[in-house]
């Protein structure tokens, strides 16, 4: 049976990915420090014998070494997320995104464990087009504005993934997510869609 490791697996996207992989018959192990994820997101998965979890930071090198060694494939989702968090804590944003990705890729490369790295539409920066292309030149805002540190850190993550593929022959895939929407998403860290939904429901109740 194939086993997948998901970093950030107790988050909104990570928990849905865990569900999908389990439904396909893949064993799933996640690691999450619950800084932006929630144990409630994975509570319904705990009774599945193919599922296991570790509550720790993905920057814990000994733990990650063991987890990646047990996995056949790594889905790397652990990252600083949410506009408000990024603006308020740029140091945490940069260190979390770059250091964890560097560690995941380094350890995965030792035994050629394939890595899917989740990036973001933010890397497109200020491009103003109807269609984006992965080969487009990128234009970001000034370094004096904290919001761009997230895009910059994810660009570094993508460069690292490609560098490990070219230099170390590590199988890597980069996925750039745009606004993801669905159950278990929270507006706690500045995600706009959950806020819009709550405001719309509140307005509807008030109008009755």
pLDDT tens digits, one per residue of 151-193: 999 999 999 999 999 999 999 999 999 878 778 777 665 566 7
- Answer with the residue of higher pLDDT: 3 or 177: 3
From 67, 63, 17, 60, select the one nearest 42 (Cα to Cα). 17
198 is a domain residue: no
The pTM assigned to this predicted structure is: 0.88
Q: Does some domain include residue 199? A: no
CATH number where 92 lies: 3.40.50.720
Residue 195 resides in a domain = no
Domain count, the chain: 1
207 part of a folded domain: no
Write down the mean pLDDT value for the chain.
Answer: 90
pLDDT tens digit string along 69-94?
999 999 999 988 766 777 788 888 88
Give the pLDDT confidence score for residue 81 in this predicted structure.
Answer: 76
Predicted pLDDT of residue 188: 62
The verdict on residue 193 lying in a domain is no
Based on the residue annotation, tell me whether 124 is a catalytic residue of this protein: no
Which residues constitute the domain of residue 49?
3-181
Residues 126-156: tens digit of each pLDDT:
878 778 888 888 888 888 888 788 899 999 9
Residue 189 inside a domain? The answer is: no
Of 124, 150, 164, 189, which one is the catalytic site residue? Answer: 150
């Amino acid at each position: 049976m194939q086993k997948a490791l998901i970093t950030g697996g107790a988050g909104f996207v990570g928990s849905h990915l865990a569900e999908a992989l389990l439904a396909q018959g893949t064993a799933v192990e996640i690691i999450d420090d619950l800084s932006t994820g929630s144990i409630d997101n994975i509570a319904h998965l705990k009774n599945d014998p193919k599922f296991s979890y570790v509550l720790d930071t993905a920057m814990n090198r000994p733990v990650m070494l063991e987890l990646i060694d047990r996995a056949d494939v790594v889905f790397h989702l652990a990252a600083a997320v949410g506009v408000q968090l990024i603006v308020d804590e740029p140091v945490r944003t940069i260190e979390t995104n770059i250091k964890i990705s560097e560690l995941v890729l380094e350890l995965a490369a030792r035994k050629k464990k394939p890595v899917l790295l989740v990036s973001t539409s933010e890397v497109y920066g200020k491009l103003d087009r109807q269609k984006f292309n992965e080969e487009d030149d990128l234009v970001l805002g000034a370094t004096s504005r904290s919001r761009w540190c997230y895009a910059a850190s994810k660009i570094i993550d993508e460069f690292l993934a490609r560098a490990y593929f070219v230099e170390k022959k590590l199988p890597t895939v980069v996925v750039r997510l745009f606004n993801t929407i669905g159950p278990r998403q929270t507006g706690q860290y500045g995600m706009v869609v959950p806020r819009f939904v709550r405001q719309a429901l509140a307005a509807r109740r008030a109008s009755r």
